[in-house]
Amino acid sequence: MSKILVIDDDSSIRESLELYLAEEGHEVKTAPTGTEGLNEFVRMLPDVVILDIRLPDIDGFTVLEDLREDDEKIKVIMITAHHDMETTIKAMKEGAFDYIHKPINVDELDIAIKKAMNAIEMEKKINGLLMEPSRDFKVGDIIGTGNKMKEVFKTVGVASRSKATILIQGESGTGKEMIAKVIHYNTSRDEPYIAINCSAIVETLLESELFGHEKGSFTGAIARKQGKFELARYGTVFLDEISEMSINLQAKLLRVLQEMEFERVGGKDKVRVNARIIAATNKDLRTMVREGKFRDDLFYRLNIVSIDIPPLRKRREDIVPLVKYLLNKININLHKRIAGVSDEMMDIFSKYRWPGNIRELENLLVRAAVISKGQILGREDFPDLMGYANSRETEGDIVRDDLEAPMTLDEMEERHIKKIIRENEDKNKGEICEILGISRPTFERKLEKYKISLE
């Protein structure tokens, strides 16, 4: 199978992993300290290293750095008992292949090892280009504790090491531009970050905004103007709502991404593109491609690195830390001393569907902070949510449906498919298709559309 080195000061973890991995057919060596681990690494030349962040002699990040100095392609799976987001991103940015938490879930570990071995096989066939990290990753503006957000943090860390094109997808209000800024300021801090909303500018002007124009190229062009791609230099161009770009302009953007150069409107000289391009959308581009509303070749060009941000209703565990973070921000901006939100309102927050996501939560908290006469925000400070709360009090078991905003047809379909799969875990795909009353190809498209896994 593969050669695995475990570096952890906990003897019970070392013994358990050694026994488990050996039974799985791997060759396993262990070390209780960073120094011994580095020495064993030189002797063993493992395929994968499982590395604890906290070690008695030197910290895991130093060991990770030394390992990558010896072999920059070594696959290191970091493990820690701490669940903070900064540590996750720092580990991924500094070259860790994956990151898992204690207590170690063997299924999660198995998946990480298999991913590492698959990556090793792929690297034998292709060459990758990654930039070395230049500084620590420190950000407190992205809140997330669940598995979905941890995956986002991992991808942000990896994306920050290169200038590959990135596609960020998520509903309105989920924080797509925040993610883009985090990536930019961790990669090109001293270069410009330039954002443009593709839905806010008419097509005829958008081309000039992106690529610039020459004097006299059209009525009103009284002087040469540099476009966003040119002004960004070696920084970042953030194309928000890329799904709203016309098919005609999509073709021009595709050529820019392919050739990494363009001409100003009305010009003949080639201008080189040096900026990283990050695109964002609140729509499903794969669906738009199938419907002929978005170019498939442009989608694949944009989708080099993909980041899918889950809506707030699918990461309810983050509501409490988000409220705490947002209130701290509001107190600073409004010179308030809001201490928190009542238990009653937090209960309502936890059940509300948040169609506007984090933006809606922040707007409600700002409004409540402005009108509140106390330091604890209660139900009287959130009149917009009281209709949902009253429905909850009077309609008993219908609470959840009434408390939440109406679902879209896609959301209802997704929920129904997941329910059928959950209730029929012992059945194969064909049997599940019969229950749903759809064909196998349709079922496969639904799984892809809603990113549903049968595992």
Span 289-314, average pLDDT: 93
Span 205-209, average pLDDT: 86
| pLDDT tens figures, 238-250 | 999 999 999 989 9
**Candidate from 136-145, 164-173, 379-388 with smallest mean pLDDT:** 136-145
The per-residue pLDDT for 24 is 87
CA angle, 351 as apex, 347 and 352 as ends, to 5°?
115
| pLDDT tens figures, 13-46 | 999 999 999 988 899 999 999 999 999 998 888 9
Span 155-173, average pLDDT: 89
C-alpha span between 397 and 326 (Å, rounded): 32
The per-residue pLDDT for 130 is 28
The per-residue pLDDT for 125 is 45
The per-residue pLDDT for 158 is 85
Q: Is the pLDDT of residue 366 over 90?
A: yes
| pLDDT tens figures, 19-28 | 999 988 899 9
The per-residue pLDDT for 401 is 42
pLDDT bucket at 389, cuts 50 / 70 / 90: low
The per-residue pLDDT for 1 is 67
Q: Is the pLDDT of residue 452 over 70?
A: yes
| pLDDT tens figures, 418-430 | 888 888 877 888 8
| pLDDT tens figures, 66-125 | 898 888 789 999 988 766 667 777 888 888 888 888 888 888 898 889 888 877 776 654
The per-residue pLDDT for 399 is 38
**Candidate from 72-81, 226-235, 262-271, 407-416 with smallest mean pLDDT:** 407-416
Span 222-243, average pLDDT: 89
